[in-house]
Amino acid sequence: MTAELPITVVADEQQVSREAVNLMAREVLKLTQPIFVCVQRMPEGIRGEHLYVDAEGGYHVIRLSDKLGDEQRSCTLVHELTHAWQAERYGVGALKQADREYAYADNPFEQHARKAAWLGTVLRLDRNGWKEQVTA
């Protein structure tokens, strides 16, 4: 059994379920810090973002654009959860340093999160959790 750690989802239940985030974050990625996920209006061209807040013991804030289709939203959530994993694994200082040292597209943490995001194409997130997508 994994400890029940706080996951807060601020979104239409049709889009993201707390259980689906919990499964990916706790069972698969083994994240240990609280996570807040918000589906909200984002600037044009921005699908999502991850922010690690170094206060109150530390927690993750993940924002997802409300303009995404199911597959894009799933891929973006996996992408941002990968950044959360990186922050816990390597420390948020390593991520910030990479942000300064590399152009966005060349940032190894970005490339890593982009590779992981493919999972959203085969596991689709909805209010019932992660669903296999099998396409011919």
Q: Does residue 113 interact with Zn ion by CB under 5 A?
A: yes
Contact segment (CB under 5 A) with Zn ion among 13-21, 87-95, 106-114, 126-134 equals: 106-114
Give the integer Cα–Cα distance in Å for 107 and 86: 13
Task: Indicate the residue whose CB is closest to Zn ion.
Answer: 113
Indicate the residue type of 127: R
With contact defined as beta carbons under 8 Å apart, do 92 and 52 qualify?
yes
Q: How far is the CB of 37 from Zn ion (least distance, A)?
A: 15
Residue 63 burial by CB count (10 A; 0-12/13-18/19+): exposed, middle or buried? Answer: buried
Q: Is 87 in the site for Zn ion (CB under 5 A)?
A: no
Applying CB under 5 A, the span of 13-21, 33-41, 108-116, 119-127 interacting with Zn ion comes to 108-116
